[in-house]
């Protein structure tokens, strides 16, 4: 099965490259040998060929270059909130049932300032940037954390 | 006057500053522990730091707290020096 799919791919690539490079002998011979070996795929290959020629005709001789630079997908407030809640659920001192985005760490969840420091450190690890002390001690609810990270990372909604 | 309007658990300025120092030392300690290469060592030290700080959480004598902050700073310096020697 895999060899059949591979043969089809090679055939279509070889055909398009043959068109583009104006007669590369090697690809043509490779194409020919593959065709002779896989006679049972004639019907399928016909469809493939027509589809392939249409594609080649439309795009013309120029190649579509597509450069993809390595980067993380863009953040959204939704995704930030999901990640923040996920990290909080993993924290052993918080019971997941009581956790909401508006639950205050000290008043609702009964944590103390040392736990709050640990939580902010966990957020730093998760999102990969440092939060300075002065701003870290003000973040007392998950909603505030999400808003802070959104501000820092320029997330527009 | 001003004192009666504040809640009973409010800290005076010196206590407030000391509290900030304690939290700062705890944060620096956790940041240095993050740099340790081995995961098991990291968990052990994190639990140790947590234990130490939680155990003395209810201390109210300012001089004792000051002593403990100095101790914590010494531990932090030892950790930093060891990390520097180990090259990470």
pLDDT tens-digit profile, chain A (157 residues): 666 656 565 566 556 555 555 444 444 444 444 444 444 444 444 445 545 444 445 555 677 777 777 877 788 889 999 999 999 999 988 888 888 888 998 888 889 899 999 999 999 999 888 899 889 989 999 999 999 999 988 887 6
| Residue closest to A133 by CA, chosen among B10, B46, B29 | B29
Interatomic CA distance for residues A107 and B20, integer angstroms:
19
Contact list, B54 vs chain A (CB under 8 Å): 114
Q: Running DSSP on this structure, what letter comes out for residue B6?
A: S
Contact list, A121 vs chain B (CB under 8 Å): 27, 30-31, 34
Report ipTM for this prediction. Answer: 0.83
Answer whether 0.80 is exceeded by the pTM. no
Q: Running DSSP on this structure, what letter comes out for residue A24?
A: -
Q: Which of B23, B49, B54 has the highest number of chain A CBs within 10 A, making it the mutation to test binding with A?
A: B23
Return residues 26-65 of B near A (CB < 8 Å): 26-27, 30-31, 34, 50, 53-54, 57
């Amino acid at each position: 099965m895999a060899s059949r799919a591979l043969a089809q791919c090679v055939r279509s690539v070889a055909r398009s490259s043959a068109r583009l490079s104006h007669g590369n002998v090697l690809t043509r011979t490779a194409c020919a040998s593959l065709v002779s070996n896989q006679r049972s795929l004639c019907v399928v290959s016909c469809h493939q060929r027509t589809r392939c020629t249409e594609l080649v005709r439309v795009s013309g001789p120029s190649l579509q270059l597509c450069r993809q630079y390595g980067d993380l997908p863009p953040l959204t407030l939704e995704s930030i909130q999901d990640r923040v809640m996920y990290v909080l659920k993993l924290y052993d001192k918080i019971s997941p049932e009581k956790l909401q985005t508006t639950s205050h760490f000290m008043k609702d969840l009964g944590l103390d300032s040392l736990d709050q420091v640990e939580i902010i450190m966990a957020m730093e690890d998760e999102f990969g940037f440092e939060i300075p002390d002065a701003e870290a001690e003000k973040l007392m609810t998950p909603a505030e954390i999400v808003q802070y990270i959104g501000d820092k990372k320029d997330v527009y909604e | 006057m001003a004192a009666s309007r504040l809640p009973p658990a409010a800290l005076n300025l010196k206590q407030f500053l000391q509290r900030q120092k304690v939290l700062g030392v705890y944060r620096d300690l956790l940041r240095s522990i993050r740099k340790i290469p081995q995961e098991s060592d990291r968990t052990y030290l994190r639990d140790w730091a947590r234990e130490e700080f939680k155990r003395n959480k209810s201390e109210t004598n300012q001089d004792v707290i000051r002593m403990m902050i100095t101790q914590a700073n010494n531990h932090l310096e030892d950790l930093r020096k060891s990390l520097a020697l180990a090259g990470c």
